[in-house]
Structure 1
Amino acid sequence: MCSILLVFSACWIVFSHPTGAFPLDSGLNRTRRDVSCTGGLQYRHGDLCCLYCRAGTYVKSPCTRFGEAGQCEECDSGTYIEHDSDLTKCFPCTQCRSDQELVKQCTHAEDGKCQCKPGRFCHPDEACEVCKRCIRCKKDEEVVRNCTSTTNTECKKIQSKPGAPSDSIVVTVVCVATAVAVCVVFIIALGLYKWRRKRSDSQPDLPDSMKTELQYNFPFEVQRDSEARRQSSNTLSLSRQLEEEFPQLVPVKGEESLRACFEYFEDLNVDYYRRFFRSLGISDNVIKGCDHQQYEDRIHELLNKWVEKEGRDASLNSLLRALLDLSQKRTAETIRDQALQAGHYER
C-alpha cells in the first residue's frame, strides 16, 4: 500500500511541474529581485550591490562580487567629479571667459571657480553671461560702496555742509567777479583810447590817416594783447589742472602692468580708435590690417604693436595723454581709475 502512495506522489510532482521549476527555485529568484543596496554608498548592478567610486574617479567597470567596488579610474586632466558616485564619465572643468579671471583651480574632485575681472561685476542671482562695467560716481556724488566682482558701485548725492555756500551762491559770486573784471578792462581801454587820441591831436603835423590809425587801432591792440594774455593764462591753468588730475602713474610690475590694462581700452569710442592709434604713430596700413578681427581683439593687437614699436618708452601715461589730446577725458579717467583700483599702477 505504501509503495502505491509513493508512486502516485512522484507522478503528481512530475505532471504538475513538467519544466522542473520547483517552488524553491521561484523563492530564490524573488530574493534576488528584492536585493536592496545601501543608499549613498552602493549602486545596483544586476543582482549585485557595488560600492560607489570616490570623488575624483569614475566607474570604468562595475563590481563582480556583492558589496565590493568595481574598477575606478581617476578623472583625466581638465575633468572632475565632486562626489562619490557611479558615474562612468567625468565632467569638463569650467573655462573662464575673457572678461573673467580664475580664482580657484580645477582639480579632479572639484570644479574651478571664475569671477569678473576688476572693474566689472555680475550679480550672483542672475545668469552671468557677461560681466558688466562698474559705474563711476558723478562729480556731485560720493562712493558709498566700491565695485566688487558681484556688486556694482553704489553712489549717493553729496550733501552740502551746514553753513557752506550753495552752488547758486558760488555761481553768483563768479559771475559778479567776471563782470567786475570786464568793467575794469573796459575802463582801462577807454582811458588809453582817450589818452592816445589826445596825443594824436597834439601832433598836427601827422597825416590824418595816421592819426585815425592811432585813435582807433590802439585800443583794439590793447584788447587783443589782453585777450592773448587771458588765453595763455587759461591754457596754463588747464595744463596745471590736467597735471593734478593725471599725475605720472608708476607701474607695479613694469610692462606686465601695462599689458594688464589693455582690456580697459576696449571701451574706446569706435569713432576715435583710428585717430587714437594714428596719434600713437601706428600707420593706416597696420590699422587696416586688423579690421578683420573683433573690435576687442583689434584693440589688443594694435596696442601690442605699439608696445613693440616704443619698447621701453611705452607707458600708460602716454596712452592717457593721447586720449586727452583727442578730448576723450572721461575715457582717460575711467582707464586711470581702473588701473589704480586693480593695483596695476600707483600714483
Structure 2
Amino acid sequence: MKAVAFTHSKPITEFDALLDIELPVPEPRHHDLLVEVKAVSVNPVDTKIRRSGEPLGEPRVLGFDCAGIVRGIGPEVHNFAIGDEVYYAGVPDRPGANAEYHLVDDRIVGHKPRSLTFAEAAALPLTSLTAWEMLFDRFRIPRDQTVNGTLLIVGGAGGVGSMAIQLAAQLTDLTIIATASREETTDWCRKLGAHHVINHHHDMAAQIERLGLEAPEYIFLVTHERLHFKKMTELLAPEGAMGIIESAAGPVDISALMKKCGTLHTEFMFARGLLKTPTISAQHRTLEAIAHLVDNGTLKTTMTENFGTINAANLKRAHEAVEASSVRGKIVLEGF
C-alpha cells in the first residue's frame, strides 16, 4: 500500500523530510478496525513528532485525523461492521493514517457524520475530542443547565479553538471571548459563535475590561502557553479554572493561581487510547455525539483548505503551513 513517512528528523524544507513509500497492508487484531483511508488532516502533533527525533529502525508514518471506510475487523470489535464510514484521531504509538490502510482501536472511533464528505469529516476528530474533553470532562461545564460566566479561549481560530468556540456557543450559556490577531481570523471566530474577539498580542485584561466584562471564570489556553501562562493566571477569576494542552517548556509559576484557589487542568487527547484507561470508550461516545451535532446542523466542519491527494509533496506543504502558525481551521488531504 502507498504511505508517507519520515526516516530522519529534518526541517520540512528538506526535499526528503517526508517520503512516499510502499508498505504491506496490516492485519486487524483484537479491537482493531482496518480502515481504507479516504482523507486525513494535519495537526501540530504531526510536525512535533517529525521534528522530535529519529524513528526506531523503520520509516514512521504520521497522521492523527482520519476518515475512511472499514474494510476489516478484529475479533473483539462490537461497534462497527465492514463497510461502515468512520472518523477518528488514532494514537501516536502506532503507525499513523497517512497510508492507504490503517489500523485503529474501535473504542476511539466514531461513525462519520453522514452529512459530511470524507475530507470535511477528517478535519474534526482530534480537535473535537480535545475541545470536548477540556470543556466538559476537565472544566466540567454543565451542558444541561444555565451557567452564568465567561470563557476565554486563547487561540480561537486554530483547529482546537474553532471547535471549542462552537461547542461552548451551542451547548452552554457562557459568554465566549476568543482571541485572534488578523481580520480574517477575527471574522472566523465570530462566525463560529464567539460573542467577543480580542487580540492576544495586546493587553487582554484591558481589552476585557473595556468590553465591560468581569474576569473570566474559565480560560482555555489553546496555544503559546509559554507566552501567556503567567498573565492568564493573573487574569483568571477567583476560584476559576484554567486549561492547557501544550507541554510546559519549563517550570511554571502557579502562585497567582494558588492565591485565587484556582484550578489548573491539563488535556492530552491521546491519553485514553495510549494508556487504555477505563474511560477509553468515552471517545467513541464523544465522536458519535459530535457526528449527531454535525448532522443536525449544530456544529460544522472546520476544514478550510484542501491540499489535494495524500502524498509527500502535499503533506510537506501542509506541515510547512502548520509550522508557520498561519492556518485558520484545518488543512485536509484526500485520496491517493
Instruction: Give the TM-score normalised by the residue count of structure 1.
Output: 0.21
Q: Which has the higher strand share?
A: 2
Larger relative helix fraction: 1
TM-score (ref. length: structure 2): 0.21
